[in-house]
Amino acid sequence: MFICNLRWSRLELVFVNVCHLVAMASVLHAGLRLSLEILLIAVVAASLLSYLSDRFQFFYKLGRGGLLPLRPALVLGQQSAKFYGAGIVQETALPNVVYMSEFLLVLRFRPETEKPWCRLRHLVLWPDSLISAEGRRLRRFLRFDLVQELDQI
């Protein structure tokens, strides 16, 4: 069992912001009517604000003393995984690797119970989302230990 302390990736933040800025620039360059341009730019801006709000709520909490940082974590065990964050604990099955490269890791977690409010959870890890030692350990677990456990089932 080991713990992965999650951090807000600066690479992800830059990537998402650049993608939204390119989308806004392409709307302006398309030569559409002004009313349609304003509508499309508002939709792209709403998308960016939605992303920032979601990430902000995952890593920070507004409390009495002002803005309090949260320390979300992923705990991987032999049989299950647990997410700790924002005062809640969610237990899931071991992850399925959706995509793995040296720069990006996408994991899918199934809920441990089949309750209607439980849903699949995806975790996207960029190179700076974890401390390098935790990232190496997680990749080793996913590549070798997790595969062996799935082969035995």
pLDDT digits (tens, 9 = 90+) for 27-79: 999 988 999 999 999 999 999 999 999 888 888 888 787 888 888 999 988 88
| pTM, two decimal places | 0.79
Element housing 125 (H / E): strand 121-125
Q: Mean pLDDT score of the chain, rounded to an integer?
A: 86
- How far is it, in rounded angstroms, from Cα 3 to Cα 38? 45
- How far is it, in rounded angstroms, from Cα 27 to Cα 25? 5
**pLDDT at residue 148 is higher than 60:** no
Q: What is the largest CA-CA distance in the chain?
A: 61
DSSP 111: B
**pLDDT at residue 152 is higher than 60:** no
Residue 95 contacts residue 80 (beta carbons within 8 Å) = no
Give the pair of three-digit tokens for residue 6: 């999650």
C-beta atoms surrounding 77 within 10 Å: 11
Residue 74 contacts residue 6 (beta carbons within 8 Å) = yes
Could you give the C-alpha distances from 76 to 80, 81, 102, 142, in angstroms and in order? 6, 4, 20, 10
